[in-house]
Amino acid sequence: MSPLIEVRDVVKRFGKVAALKGVSIRLKRGEVVGLLGPNASGKTTLLKLVMGFMRPDEGEVRVLGKDPFLSPGVRAKIGYVPEDVLLYDSLTMREFLYFIGRMRKMSPSAYLDRARVLATLFEVEDKLDCLIGSLSRGDRQKLALISALLHEPDILVLDEPIAGLDPVAVRVLKELLMEFKARGRGIIISTHILGLAEALCDRIYLMNDGWVVAEGDIRSIKEAVGVDKSLEDVFLKLTKKDEVLDLLIRILKEEF
């Protein structure tokens, strides 16, 4: 069975800076894949290539077998939550979800039923008539997630999806993602929350400075790196931040 997403040897440059340096990843049906790495490691750039917002300078990106840049219609089968959520502040939540439903060519009954269930799950059903501009950060994030899930896409692409969410909403999201996976769909998550990756991901790609420095399931990566501790320790070692952290802790202890 062909993968939902396949990225092969992708290079992406911005001027003289290479954000991605020969990256390859794959997402299969019924799988949750995590992208981990420090800031500026290339995770968000990679997701933008998957969404077809720009083209790689070298290599290939295929989503459902198509180049997402040349076949923008493939985005209709993706639910996307970017790191920086942009919403229409002058609309209410209800109006925005109506707009998303119509844009996705959903029938009114399907949109209404799905929106009602998701709003209830994320505990925002009493805020549907509030202007988006008046919402808290957490409620804006919930709206972004509801919008991504509304049309029951084949693929979810989530960039820091739990930013601003309360613990109940995080748990609801985890359960929704597990149900999404059980139905044979695919999820790719970029996150700094290592506990989220450890709880959800079948495989991870650990990125640093535009490279994939490790890939596989968490257990195999720990064994390969020789770290029998948490994913945080693996992350620090592979991104070469462990020595820097030791130095910072020494400074902290001496100064405070």
What is the C-alpha separation between 95 and 14, in angstroms, rounded?
A: 37
pLDDT, tens digit, 9 for 90 and up, residues 130-178 = 999 999 999 999 999 999 999 999 999 999 999 899 999 999 999 999 9
β-strands 5-14, 17-27: how paired? antiparallel
Model confidence at 248, in pLDDT bands (50, 70, 90)?
A: very low
Task: Calculate the alpha carbon distances from 143 to 60, 102, 114 in Å.
Answer: 32, 16, 13
Which CATH number, 1.20.1050.10, 3.40.50.300, 3.30.450.20, 1.10.10.410, labels domain 5-216? 3.40.50.300
Specify the pTM.
0.86
Dihedrals phi, psi of 16, to nearest 5 degrees: -90, -5
- The fraction of the chain above a pLDDT of 70, given in percent, is 86
User: What would the mean pLDDT of 103-118 be, rounded to a whole number?
Assistant: 90
Residue 118 has pLDDT above 50, yes or no: yes
Residue 245 has pLDDT above 60, yes or no: no
Alpha-helical segments (H) within the chain: 43-50, 93-103, 108-121, 137-149, 167-182, 194-200, 218-225, 231-238, 242-255
pLDDT bracket for residue 197 (50, 70, 90): confident
Structure tokens that stand for 201 in this block: 């991901």
Q: What gap in Å lies between CA 34 and CA 189, rounded to an integer? A: 5
Domain boundaries, the chain: 5-216
Helix, strand or coil, per DSSP, at residue 72: helix
CB 160 within 8 A of CB 39: no
pLDDT in tens, 92-108: 999 999 999 999 989 88
Q: How many Å apart are CA 36 and CA 190, to the nearest integer?
A: 6
CA angle 202, 192, 35 (to 5 degrees): 40
